[in-house]
Amino acid sequence: MPLKRKHKIFLTILLSFGVLAQGITMFRSGLIYDFGMGFWGPNGHDGVWHLALANQVLKGFPPPHPTLASFELTNYHYFYDLVIAIVNKLTFIPIRHLYFQIFPFFLALGIGWLSFLVGYYWQKDFWTGFWLAFFNYFAGSFGFLVTLWRTGELGGESLFWSMQSISTLVNPPFAFSLVVLLAGMYLLLRVKNWNRWKIIGLGLLFGMLIDIKVYAGIIALPALLVFALFKLWQNKKQYLGVFLVALVTSLATFFLINKKAASLLVFEPLWFIHTMIESSDRFYLQRLALARYTLIEGKFGPRLFALELGTLGIFLLGNLGTRVIGLKTLIEKNIKKDFTDLDAFILIGGAVGLLIPLVFVQKGTAWNTIQFFYYFLFFANFYAAVALSKMMKIKKNYKWILLGIIILLTIPTSFSTLKGYLGWPPPTALSKGELEALDFLKKQKEATVLTFFYNPFEKERFKQTPIPLYVYETTAYVSAFSGKQTFLEDEMNLLISGYDIKQRGGDELKFFISEDKIWARGFLLNNQIGYIYLTDRQRFLLPEDELGVDKIFDNGEARIYQVRGII
């Protein structure tokens, strides 16, 4: 049915504000300012990693690892970066502009528009689609209530662990997976006259989710299976075909791309709930944490059970925020037995997204499995949207007061998060001198680049922002802006992916402090290191001649050495 003019205006306003708000987290990063290239928020680490990856994904299958020379990339979903790399080759638009400015705009627009379409056709109601788009743009946690009470300031987006809607774009594969997931759900609702190609096409769409974001693929497959079984009960077999195509595609591409991958999940029930009350940078309830430690020394009993159940409730309520009104929708649907086929998809997807992080953590970086929970919150938005849509139909004027209260409790987290992206100057930057050096290195012949080991204590000598990117965090910036593989960079991502880098890290450190010229020269040759990249304060102890290196670039901010016998 066509939309009324006023509805089109409301939707246009929402989409405009939603795209702008989510886009603020990305748009300013990667641009050149007086001090160099600025980065806000996680973009100083995560964004740089994706730039490095986009430079490598077309160089092999599987692609070479950007920050671990001589290794292939495993245990990582790189489809989003592959798309960026392909668009870069076709259009010659710089990767950094595609990543920080162009793709985020279309992802944010796609999330909002597809959210509206799915909600609209699911419930045959404009306001369900409108509020679903609203929650997918602005839904936040109740963390701001805690920070307001404790410090008098708004904040606390991830106080209960999970990222919220406003930060969707800083995790681009997650944002892309939502677009694909919403597109698949829309087609499940809209396709009527099925044929072989439609079945294959929709199956491929769901099947590619695991390559965009592995968490999305793990969640979508059981949700799609249950949806297909509901349809099969109605004698509609084509949906089972969609599931089978999606399953085969997922398994084939996942094991093809990750044939050397290892399991990263570790059984650790309620780890997020326990650390939520124990960590000072989370909700932190010291007395409750101490009480739990006291109780677990004895036998499991009702008091410990009540404590665990209570903290689980805090975890869920704190993260859900105003989405908790969706419980009313679920209760009503259960009473009326009014569940649709898409409800089966939403409920199973949400259940998987909730249960996995409650039971498992990830090797190397335990908190990474919280990304499953992002999808639980995404599916919770559906029922919150239905609840608000029904509220719109109340004929009493008090509905506007209720709606106002819900909106006022929903968006403070978004405002508090955006403050960090609107500040000036940015937390970190890549100086113009380093950009010049890295551009020079990019034009040299292909070879492995050795960088200085990351020193977290170096940050202390910088009293003003932006601080240099090389001290901000362990990042992949040399690989990202030179287009070359580095010997060892961004240890954080390497540990998350399960690589054993202890030996390599030790050798890198030893090279820069060694006075053994035979070992140091052998280290360079044995590892086929062609270049050494250093900033102004970074040094190696041995003379250049004894190492067999020649300085080929020096602008006062960065130096590049070429290793004889390799290049």
Give the residue-averaged pLDDT of 244-264.
Answer: 78
Do 342 and 455 fall into the same domain?
Answer: no
pLDDT confidence band for 295 (50 / 70 / 90): confident
Task: Please report whether residue 53 resides in a domain.
Answer: no
Give the residue-averaged pLDDT of 6-34.
Answer: 97
Task: Please report whether residue 67 resides in a domain.
Answer: no
Over 60: is that where the pLDDT of 370 sits?
A: yes
Q: How far apart are alpha carbons 537 and 558 in whole angstroms?
A: 9
Over 90: is that where the pLDDT of 566 sits?
A: no
The pLDDT > 90 percentage for the chain reads: 80
Give the residue-averaged pLDDT of 448-455.
Answer: 95
Do 283 and 155 fall into the same domain?
Answer: yes
Question: What is each CA distance from 185 to 137, 407, 500, in whole angstroms?
Answer: 18, 26, 39
pLDDT at site 367: 84
Strands, sheet with 428-430, edge to edge from the N-terminal-most edge strand:
32-33, 36-39, 428-430, 467-468
Tokens of 42: 């996680």
pLDDT tens-place string over residues 391-450: 998 888 888 999 999 999 999 999 999 999 999 999 999 999 999 999 999 999 999 999
Asked which of 47-61, 102-116, 164-178, 284-298 is least confident by mean pLDDT, the reply is 284-298
Give the residue-averaged pLDDT of 89-112.
Answer: 98
Give the residue-averaged pLDDT of 167-176.
Answer: 96
Give the residue-averaged pLDDT of 314-326.
Answer: 97
Do 96 and 27 fall into the same domain?
Answer: yes
Task: Please report whether residue 65 resides in a domain.
Answer: no
Domain boundary among 359, 393, 422: 422
pLDDT at site 263: 61
Give the residue-averaged pLDDT of 512-516.
Answer: 93
Over 80: is that where the pLDDT of 499 sits?
A: yes
Domain boundary among 422, 445, 476: 422
pLDDT confidence band for 223 (50 / 70 / 90): very high
pLDDT confidence band for 1 (50 / 70 / 90): low
Mean pLDDT computed over every residue of the chain: 93
Do 317 and 359 fall into the same domain?
Answer: yes
Do 134 and 260 fall into the same domain?
Answer: yes
In sequence order, which residues have a C-beta less than 8 Å from that of residue 403 and are 6 or more positions away?
388, 391, 392
CB atoms within 10 A of CB 313: 11
C-beta separation of 103 from 90 below 8 A: no
Do 372 and 459 fall into the same domain?
Answer: no
Domain boundary among 368, 389, 422: 422
Give the residue-averaged pLDDT of 371-392.
Answer: 96
User: Taking the model in full, what pTM does it have?
Assistant: 0.94
Task: Please report whether residue 275 resides in a domain.
Answer: yes
In sequence order, which residues have a C-beta less than 8 Å from that of residue 116 and are 6 or more positions away?
11, 15, 129, 130, 132, 133
Rg of the chain on CA atoms, in Å: 26
Domain that holds residue 470: 428-464+466-563
Do 371 and 439 fall into the same domain?
Answer: no
Residue 433: name the closest of 14, 35, 11, 136 by CA: 35
pLDDT tens-place string over residues 28-79: 999 999 999 999 999 999 999 999 999 999 998 889 999 999 999 887 888 9
Q: How far apart are alpha carbons 82 and 70 in whole angstroms?
A: 20
Over 80: is that where the pLDDT of 542 sits?
A: yes
Give the residue-averaged pLDDT of 496-524.
Answer: 92
**Number of domains into which the chain is organized:** 2
Q: What is the dihedral of CA 160, 162, 166, 168, to 10 degrees?
A: 170
The SS3 of residue 391 is: helix
Q: How many CA atoms are closer than 13 Å to the CA of 98, on its beta-carbon side? A: 20
pLDDT at site 259: 57
Q: How far apart are alpha carbons 323 and 379 in whole angstroms?
A: 10
How far is C-alpha 506 from the chain's CA centre?
Answer: 30
Q: How far apart are alpha carbons 325 and 392 in whole angstroms?
A: 14
The DSSP code sequence of 197-215 is HHHHHHHHHHHTHHHH-HH
Task: Please report whether residue 156 resides in a domain.
Answer: yes
In sequence order, which residues have a C-beta less than 8 Å from that of residue 49 and are 6 or more positions away?
66, 475, 476, 480, 490, 493
pLDDT at site 497: 79
In sequence order, which residues have a C-beta less than 8 Å from that of residue 306 and are 6 or more positions away?
none
Task: Please report whether residue 140 resides in a domain.
Answer: yes
Give residue 556's region: left, alpha or beta (phi > 0; psi -120 to 50).
left
Do 126 and 185 fall into the same domain?
Answer: yes
Q: How far apart are alpha carbons 515 and 30 in whole angstroms?
A: 39
The answer to whether the peptide bond before residue 466 is cis (omega within 30 degrees of 0) is yes
Do 258 and 121 fall into the same domain?
Answer: yes
Do 502 and 455 fall into the same domain?
Answer: yes
Task: Please report whether residue 170 resides in a domain.
Answer: yes
Task: Please report whether residue 70 resides in a domain.
Answer: no
Do 506 and 551 fall into the same domain?
Answer: yes
Q: How far apart are alpha carbons 89 and 84 in whole angstroms?
A: 9
* Intra-chain end-to-end CA distance of the chain, in Å: 66
Do 395 and 537 fall into the same domain?
Answer: no
